[in-house]
Amino acid sequence: MRMNNIFNKVIVLSLIFFISCSTSNKFTVIDYSKNANLELMEREFSKSSGSGKLIAKGQTNFVSRFDFISTKNSSSIVFRDFLGRKQFLVEIVDQDIRYVDMKKRQDIDIENFSNFFPMATKIDAKIYKKLMWGIPDTFKDMDVTMKKEFMISTRLNTLDDRNLIDELIFSFNNDKQEYKLIFSDRTFFK
C-alpha cells in the first residue's frame, strides 16, 4: 500500500513538472488574404528600407548585421562584420546582381559570396527584392530541387493590416547548418 502511494505521488509530481516545463502553445490563425503583395506595395510606397541580422549556426557560426534599401528599379544590402565594418554589398539593378567585397573594394562572383551566404546561388533579383519588401510568398514558386537542398521556415509580422516576413530560417545538411535572416526594422516611404 505504501509503495503504491509513493508511486502515485511520483507520477503526479512528474506530470506537474512536465506541464510546467512545456511552452505555451499559442497558435495564431493566419489570414493569407492579408499577405503583402509586391505590386500593390510598390504602387503605394516608393521604397522600403531597414535593417536586420544574419545569424549562422552549425559548422559555420557568425552574426552579421545588415542594412537594406529597395526601390522599384534597384535594391542594395550591406552586410557588416562583428565590428560593424562593411563586409559585403549586394547591389541589384533591374535583374542584374552585383556582389562586392567591401573590405577588398572589389567585385566578387556569386561563388565567393556564397561562401558567406550559401543560399545566394538560389536567390535571384526578384527574390532579394521581395525579401526586402517583406513579401510572404517569396519562396512560393521555389523549384523542387531547391526544396531538397534546404528547408525554409518563416515567421510573419503584421504591420498596417499586412502580413510581412519578419524572420527566415534556411536549414540544410540535415539541420547541421542554419542561416537565420531576422528583419528587425522595416520602413516604407511614400
The CATH number for 130's domain is: 2.50.20
Kindly report, residue by residue over 57-115, the tens digit of the pLDDT.
Answer: 888 889 999 999 999 899 999 999 989 999 999 999 999 999 999 999 999 999 999 88
Structural domains of the chain, count:
1
Residue with cell 504602387: 43
Name the residue range of residue 184's domain. 2-189
pTM over 0.75: no
pLDDT at 19 over 70: no
Kindly report, residue by residue over 21-42, the tens digit of the pLDDT.
Answer: 444 444 455 555 566 667 787 8
Kindly report, residue by residue over 153-174, the tens digit of the pLDDT.
Answer: 656 566 666 667 777 777 876 6
Rounded distance between C-alpha atoms, residue 158 and residue 137, angstroms: 14
Q: Where are the beta strands (DSSP E) in 8-161?
A: 47-58, 62-71, 74-80, 86-93, 96-101, 106-108, 150-159
